[in-house]
Every structure is written in structure tokens, then in C-alpha cells.
Structure 1
Amino acid sequence: MAGNRVKVILTVAAIAAVIMLLKSPQQEAPLFESRLMMDTIISIRAYPVISKKQLDAAFAEFAKVESKASFHLENSELSALNRNGSLGAASSLTPLLQIAADYFARTDGYFDPSFASLQKAYGFYSGEGRLPGEDEIAGLLRDRCGLGQVLLQNEEGFKLASGSLIDLGGIAGGYAIEKAARVLRESGCSGFLIDDAGDIWFEGSKPDSSNWRIAVRDPRDNGTLALVESRAPLAISTSGDYERFITVDGKRYGHIMNPHSGRPVDYYSSVTIIASEPVTADALSTAVFAMPPEIAFKWVEERNLAVLFLTSTGTIHLSRAGRQYFRQAEAQ
């Protein structure tokens, strides 16, 4: 209820990562390094070993994205937009905002960065969790949410509705991965894998020509939910209810909202999507997680998306395209 004091828990990604890399035996050791960036652990694995300068340049792409797209850094361009309600057309944040608007439209509003206003009302940012009343939620949905109505772009830049907030966490990681991948390609890497707290991109070949092998973690017991093997480049992204949540009166509520009810969704424990681009996987895993099953299952089939659902009751559901990629995950 409103006013109840609760804990807001953000699990460290290095401990509760959804996806892990499985090593192939007897292969040349790659360069491997992890760094704490963007409030999580970023890892890069590359063949052949590149110079420290080249590696630093790849990691620097994450720092660049964080400096402009962070919700929490006061001097970021996103914070300036949230604080001032406007942003000039020349802003380096413009491409990300345009991508966000595109996925908002493509997902029928289920990918909606303006739901930061609702998340603030629930206490996800302050550390004081609460359950807003129906009237408060209705007012937020009417006046401060819905990216298509609260964020407008013209030749001068962007205007954000008064009281609205934008959080680009649903695509910033995938966007940074794409930038870092370009640096690694230009550095001469024949194969590499980038892991941003479970948002993964891999491409190229390993010295032994073996497949890239990824294990999708089961959030219930930290076991393996499914395996993905491929030599072709793939992006894999998982959204879940176990990393960022509030607890009110002993009940846990995740941070992803249903855009129609304004309430945290409780349909799934995790949703994992495979796509051809990191930003696509990142945005769609969030959007699909927000959809009720009767909408989500049909929506992903119509778009031939490879998706693994783990419902809140423990049932595994695979899309038709997902059956081509996910192994050892039997639909129930």
C-alpha cells in the first residue's frame, strides 16, 4: 500500500546474469576482460588477442552511451531532457530517441521508455517502494505516459511533456554493444562476444571453428534453461522479473509495466529473444515481457521471432522460430 517502506533490490548482474558463455574444449585462449560500466558488468571475449588500446576503445563505446543516455547521471543528455523538458536537434542522444520512438510504434506501445514516470511512482528509483492508487495511475497514464504523445520531435529538437520522464535502459545496452562491435571489427578481430549483463552479441569464428555456445540461465535455480549454438552472428537478450523489483507487504513486483493497466506485469519469470541486431533483441525482450501471454504468443508468431518464455508458473513456451535455436528446453 502507499507509504509502506520496502526494499528496492537491484541484483548485481555479475551474480544473477541470465546468460553465460559455455567454453569449447581445447581452443586457443581468447582475450577476455570484464569491467564495471553502465551500472553492470560488461565483458568482451575476442579472437585473436587485440591490443589494450583497441580493447579500451571498445569499452569506451559503453562509456559514451552512458554519458548521454544514463537516467541516473545528472550531467547526461537524457537527464537534461528529463529535467528541462527539451533537447536540441544536434544532441548526440537523437539517434537513441528516434530508435525508441520506432520500437514504441512497432510494438503497439509495449516498449515505452516513458513508463519511467510510473516506475518513479512505484518507488523503483527512490528506494521507497509503494503501490499507487487507481486514480494516480490513471492520471499518469493519461498525462505522462505513452512515448508517442509525451515526446515530440520537430526541426528544433525534442519536447517532453511536463512531469514525464524517459528511461532508455531498454535499448541503451544493445545500442552500446553495436558501437563496441564495430570497433572490434575494425581492430581485426576474427571473432568476438560481447556480454552486457545478459544482452549478448557474438560474430565471426573461433580458432577451432566451433560454434558459439550460450546457456540461458534458469532464474529459479540458476540452472540451465536452454542452450543456443550457432556460428552465424546472433543477438540474445533476456528480460526478467528477478533483477529489479520492489517488495510490498511481502509481495514482489517487477519493474516492467503493462501499458494499459499501469501495473507491473506478473506473467513471466523471463523472456529470451534471439534477433539479428542487439538493439532489436534488447527492445523486443522488454516489449514482449510486457505483453499478456494471449497477445505475446500470437504477436511473436506473426513476426517469426525466436522466443523462449518462462512463465511465472514455471511453464516453458517456445515460439516456432525459437525451436530452431533453443535446445534442451521442452515446451510444456
Structure 2
Amino acid sequence: MTKFCPNCGKKSDANAKFCPYCGQNLTHKKETSQSSISLPTRSSKSRTHDSKRWWILLVSVIILVIGGVFTYKLYENKQQITAVNKMPKKKLADLTIVYTHQHYNNPSWNKVYHQAMNGNLMVQRHTHYNLNGVNIAAQKGHYIYVINNKVVFSTNKNKANSDSTLTISDGKKVLGTVNPVTAYKEVKKKNWNEFQKVDNIKSFNSNFSIRQLAIFAALSHSADIEQDVNFNYKNNTQDLKYEKGYYILQLGGDGVSQTQFKLNGDELIIKYLDPIGAKDNADAPQKTIHVTVSDLAEKYYQTSEQKAYVDKLAKKLVTQEI
């Protein structure tokens, strides 16, 4: 029996220990199987370490985002406080009008809101005021601000706007209180365009009431109005109302007896029918004049007699709830 040399392939005796041709040892079998190679595997400890690292990274990102939002909110709040503190009282009145209209369904404030949106806005500062027969006194250290002789709000005169409190009233009852910064934030979020529209309206700050201004407007084109005022007063006939952006004073039964007016800053815009030169009152053309309240006051409210006359007629006007 023969066997083959695994090295040179030649035949050798079956009992031979070495190949006679190449000397290959024939007593050991050549390992033909290849040792399996084991690939390194990641330990569970390593995987846990990587997982922790990702969680740390995620938490760090979340903290950075929250910190950024918080920092921005602080900056935004500081900017809003600065804006409120820079507000003159007229602008604070604008803010109060829009905020109150947004929060309270109050007829008096709703009327003022629509008047302001139509360009008619008058803000007066007082410590005491008689509002439609109701005596209102400011608390110690406070001012009251009367808007269009209709509604009031008060603030602390010794504090910055942001540290004060708006007390909102229709003259008969307090509707509520609010910090101006809170009101500013809510208006900016929901009604900013309305606030800007009202804020663009010039305001006339004076101590003249709407009734007194009505007498000024009537006197600007008619010297004799006392008889008609007394007649309406005696018969409780309404002669002063507000409609479509204008106050309307009706002192007689025809159009010629009507005076329309509205405020635009210190200017009074007055409309009336001028019968001079017309065939009859029905053909009287409408005239519009622009005159400052200062000029009207200088003409009709200088002497003690003039003041007494205007005040007497103003008190007798029978008004709509305006």
C-alpha cells in the first residue's frame, strides 16, 4: 500500500515516515482546516456608555434651547416695560381704550372706542371731576384722566407707568384694574393695529367739556342760540347727540339749525348749512370750517360774562348718552 507525499505528491511506502524525494514528514496530517477568526464584539458596557453620551448631548441641547427662550423673554419683557414707561398719558389713554374694549362689554367705553376710531378723542387730566352728574375724586397721589367727557381711568402720578395700576371706570362703577405692561402685552398680541390707529389720532387736552365745545361750534356761525337752547331745555328735547364720527347739535326743527362738529387735536371741524344768499333754507349749501379751540375760547370765553353765558347754555343742553 502506498501513500502520497502531501508536499511533492509522489508515491511513498505506506510505512515510510519521511518522503524519500523531498523529506516531508509523513507521520503528521497537514492541517487543512482554517482556524475560525472571531471578530471583536462591543461589550454591553460600551453600548451603555454611548447611550449615556447621547442622552447628555440631548439634554444639553434642550437646556440651551430653554435658556435661549428664557433669555429672549427677559429681553422682550424689558423692552415692553421700557415702551410703557415712555408712554405719555395720551398714549396710555389710547392703550386703555383698546384694552377696555377688548375686555369689557361696557356701553360707555364702547362708545368712546368708536369715537376714537373715528378720529374724535379728547383726554383731560384732573384730580376732581363731575362726570355726567357723578363727582369723581382721585385718590391721594393719583390723577384721573377723562376721555371724551365719558369715561375715566386713573394712575399713580408718583410712579412709573410700569409700576402703576390702571383703574378703569365708566364714572358709575369700577370695571377693573390692570398693570399697564400687562395691558400692553395683550393689546400687542391681539389688537395692535387698532391701538396704532387710535394712537395716530391727535388728542386735545383741555378743560372744555363736549357741551361747552358744542356752544362754541354753534356760536361760530350763529350769534343767537339762547332762545333755542332754552326752548329745548324747557321741553326736554334732545339737542346734542353723537353720530357717525360727529357730535350733532340740533337747536331747531330744520337743517339750518343743526351744527355738526368733531375734534382733531386742538382743531374743531364744524359743519353747518349757510342760508345766506340761498332762496330758502332747503337750498342752503353746507359749509365746513376749521378753527382751533384756542381761537374759539379767545373769542367766546374770555370775560367773566362770556364764561357765565357759555357755561349756562352748556348746562342746559339735553344730551343723548354720549
Q: TM-score range by the shorter chain?
A: under 0.3
Structure (1/2) with the larger strand percentage: 1
TM-score (norm: length of structure 2): 0.21
Structure (1/2) with the larger helix percentage: 2
Larger Rg computed on CA atoms: 2
Structure scoring higher RCO (CA < 8 A, sep ≥ 6) equals 1
TM-score (norm: length of structure 1): 0.21
